Structure formats: structure tokens, C-alpha cells
Amino acid sequence: MELSSELKKEMYWMMLLSRRLDERAWVLHRQGKIAFHISGIGHEAAQVGAAFALKRGHDWVTPYYRDLALMVSLGLTPEEFMLSLMGKAGEPSSGSRQMPSHFGLRRVNAVSHSAPVATQAVHAAGIGLAIKIKKEKKVVLTTIGEGSTSQGEWYEAVNWAAVHQLPVIFLVQNNQYAISVPPEMQMAVKSAADKACGLGLPGQMIDGTDVIAVYEIISELAEAARNGKGPALVEAKMYRITPHSSDDDDRTYRSREEVEENKKFDPLLLTKARLIDEGIYTEKDLEDLDKKAKQMVTDAVKTAEEAPYPAAEEAAYPVYAEEVPNA
């Protein structure tokens, strides 16, 4: 079924806004205004396609640190992202107790994760079990990098979801590096999706630069999972255009030529070209949208810069059950 132009426009807008937020984060880091950034540049198509396949606020998400575009599509505002980068009060994941990009947003059922990679997959399996016990028609999307599928927790979570036929979609974002380590140095199979056959669930590899393909595939799997058909594993392939994080110097393990070559597969540019080809947008429309996105980012930076830091006396509170102030 051909998707509506409106839907394509909405998805492009989320990709664009996330990209401009992400780029500004790098600038803020270089200006010494923030301590750390971990980037989702190159991952936007996979994340936006997946987010749009969910019923926002109904389904559940346990994301990972590269999921800015996923979170923006679910409803994280530019201001909230900037508050987290600057460690200001009111940041919705943890009231700025957590590292930036350890996304959580209670109003859309997105659960903040721990820094050890793959723990979010275990949380997803647990939420999936709760959904099954309560007989709800919901799905959990959990995301992860390909390198982190080598972690024990990931196998345990996928195994558990497969044994109990839980409504969980395990989305692997294969950006071809785990910091400096390429996939062939840490998995003997060609694709993380191949791991599915040993765990007893369907697995497939998809083009993670094609927002529409991702949307269509995850939509179908999500609907099947909501209707009791069990979990699925999807590996979306893309390229990590930036260094791993603002603490990484990627010149030590990959050539500039390789990075330049892979910029041809930049999902934002591919989607833009497609929208122009299909007559959905003109170059001028896209320029206007870009101005709008940049202005929103500038406004968000200003708001976050003017926002207060959390009060010192609130630092240790609340760790468990009470409300996070201002969240």
C-alpha cells in the first residue's frame, strides 16, 4: 500500500529535526558548553521508521543511547533534549541524574536504561511478559547496537521472549562499528539477524537507510506481536557517520575515505531526494523546513541555557518509587 504524502512529510520532519539537534549538540560540545554527546547521525531512517510503527503512548519502548530520532518521533521535545545535554532541572529521563541520551520519557512509555549495554533488552522482555499476563494488545520495541548483541543479557532476553512468545521487537541498529570494533571481529555469523534461528524467532536484515521500508516492516511485525504472534528480530543496517561519541577519535581506526564514501548512504539525503523525486516537496520547501528546524533548535538551546540546574539537596532523591521533581 502506498503511504500518504502526509506521513512521508511527518517522517522526514522528524529525521530533519533530529539531525539538526544532533549537529548542534556537537557544536555545543566543541564550545565547551556540554560535557558529552553520543550521536545518532546516520541512524535516523531506522529510528523514525520504527517509531512511526508504534502506537505512541500505548506501546512500550526500551531504547538505547543512539535513539535521538526515535525519541523525538515519540515526542521528546528539543527543549527536553537540550536540558539533558546541559544537565538542567526538568530533564524528563531522570531529572538530570542520568547521562545525556540515556533516554526515558514516561508519558510515552519509554524506559530509561542503564549504561551497561544490552540491559534494556532484559527490561523489554520483562515488560513483554507483563503485557502477556495482562492480556494487553501492546508491543515493546527495544533497540540496540550490533556489537551489544554479543552481550549475555541480549541472548537471555531474546531467548526468554521466544520461549514465552512475548510481544517484543528486538531492533538491532548495525552501524558497522562497536566503538572501534567491526562486526566480523565479534560475531561469527554475517548478520545479527542470523542469530534468530538459534533462538527460535524470526529474524531479518533490512535497509536501515530506508525510512519507509523500516516503517512498513516494523508496522507489520508490531501488529502481529500485539495479536499474540510472538517476538521478532530485525537488523537494520546503516553507517555510523560520526565518531562513537564526543570522547572518541575515529581517525585511529578508520580512514577518512571510508567515512566520506559512506556519506552517500546518509538517510537524510536519501529521503530528501526521494521526496523531491516524488514531487512531495520542492527544494524551496525543504530549505524552509530546514530554517524552521534550525530555529527550533536555537530556541531550545536558549531555553536550556536559561534553565536552572537541579537543586543540590535533590541529588540523592528519589532513587526508587517517588516522583522525579519537574519530570
Ligand X SMILES: Cc1ncc(C[n+]2csc(CCOP(=O)(O)OP(=O)(O)O)c2C)c(N)n1
Question: Catalytic site residues?
Answer: 240, 244, 253
Tell me the Ramachandran region of residue 57: left when phi exceeds 0, alpha when psi lies from -120 to 50, beta otherwise: left
Is the bond leading into 318 cis (omega within 30 degrees of zero)?
yes
The minimum distance between CB 232 and ligand X, in angstroms, equals 19
Give min distance, CB of 178 to Mg ion, in A. 5
Instruction: Give me the least distance between CB of 175 and ligand X, in Å please.
Output: 5
Half-sphere exposure of 75 (CA within 13 A, CB side): 15
**Residue 179, binding choice from ligand X, Mg ion, none, Cβ under 5 to 8 Å by partner class:** ligand X
What is the contact mask toward Mg ion in residues 133 to 162, using x (rule: CB under 5 A)?
A: ------------xxx---------------
Three-state DSSP class for residue 168: strand
| Residue with Cβ nearer Mg ion (146 or 250) | 146
Q: How far are the Cα atoms of 67, 93, 324 from residue 19, in angstroms, in the given order?
A: 11, 20, 29
Q: Which is nearer to ligand X, 119 or 271 (CB)?
A: 119
DSSP-derived 3-state class of residue 236:
strand
CB of 174 to ligand X, least distance (A): 7
Question: Which of 150/204 has CB closer to ligand X?
Answer: 150
Asked if 157 and 121 count as a contact pair (C-beta separation under 8 A), the reply is yes
Q: Which one, 174 or 271, has the nearer CB to ligand X? A: 174
- 186: which DSSP letter? T
Instruction: Name the residues that contact ligand X, by CB under 6 A.
Output: 66, 115-117, 145-148, 151, 173, 175, 177-179, 240, 244
Residue of 175, 209, 242, 271 that binds Mg ion (CB under 5 A): 175
Question: How far is Cα 107 from Cα 123, in angstroms, rounded to an integer?
Answer: 18
